[in-house]
Amino acid sequence: MRRLIAMLMALCLALSLSAAAFAAEAEETEEAAGVEIPEVPDLTDVDTSAIPGLEDGVLTIAMECAYAPYNWTQMDDSNGAVPISGTDDEFANGYDVMMAQRICDAYGWDLEVIRTDWDSLVPGVQSGLYDAVIAGQSMTEDRMEEVDFAGPYFYASIVCVTTEGSDYADAQGLADLAGGTCTAQIATIWYDTMLPQIEGANVQPAAETAPAMLMALESGMVDFICTDMPTALGACAAYDDMVLLDFSGSDDDFEADEGDINIGVSVMKGNTELRDAIDAVLGEMTADDFNTLMDQAIAIQPLSEE
């Protein structure tokens, strides 16, 4: 019970690191990657007052705040976390928050974060409840029929995660996963498109959230899960018994198109002004920049405790 409680808290609370420790971690990460994240471009002279939704100078974005390392909830503003709208003492942090803050800093906008469940993200941006969704969304053809996308702001390959000592810890390809029980988060390409590619897999009902997906694996309810690389790396950093299964480069890997691995910022259909404004900031960054920033997010994400 103690371990289960610790795991649950790990997915909701951020590890409290000092600003100095975070700065040192970020510097080490950049040095290891061989790149430095470019400075935020100064676009404050651009008139954005006519962009739909930005008349007030506030970029309102939505995310789950429960999808580390993309986004999570923590109880203080350490490491650049921002308040979650409608709460008194909860803050959002993670890769998505870091990226949103860069966009806002470029134009001098204020940032507002709304926490909502995964299934409400697209309907909310369609109705204008918030200006954009920055929440680790894949730029799939189905979603692009419903919203417009800026980006990509990350490229995320598809992998699996199992636990040490499982019958699948040494899997070298999808065929080696046959017979295993598995799951992924609901309404994602991981569950809808990737798991069906594993012949003979015993696919269980989808998990409502990313934390629930990880809990299913850690508690032994399933043998493995399917997710993207950042989520998998975050899980392996948080749980020392989790094992990454990356079949990329083999002849027995998941089949995914660019829309499956490209992660974008969704805006209301037809809001090309906001889409282009966001792209102007993202266009200054490379894939190496994205990876370095993601490494920093993983370094400060919530960690499990024994």
Residue 32's pLDDT is: 40
Q: What is the pTM of this model?
A: 0.84
pLDDT < 50: residue spans in the chain: 1-34, 304-306
- Domains of the chain, with CATH numbers? 2-155+260-300 (3.40.190.10), 158-255 (3.40.190.10)
- Amino acid symbol at 7: M
52-97 pLDDT, tens digit each: 999 999 999 999 999 999 999 999 999 999 999 999 999 999 999 9
**pLDDT at residue number 37:** 81
pLDDT of residue 240: 92
pLDDT, residue 36, reads: 76
**Predicted confidence (pLDDT) per residue in 216-234, tens digit:** 999 999 999 999 999 999 9
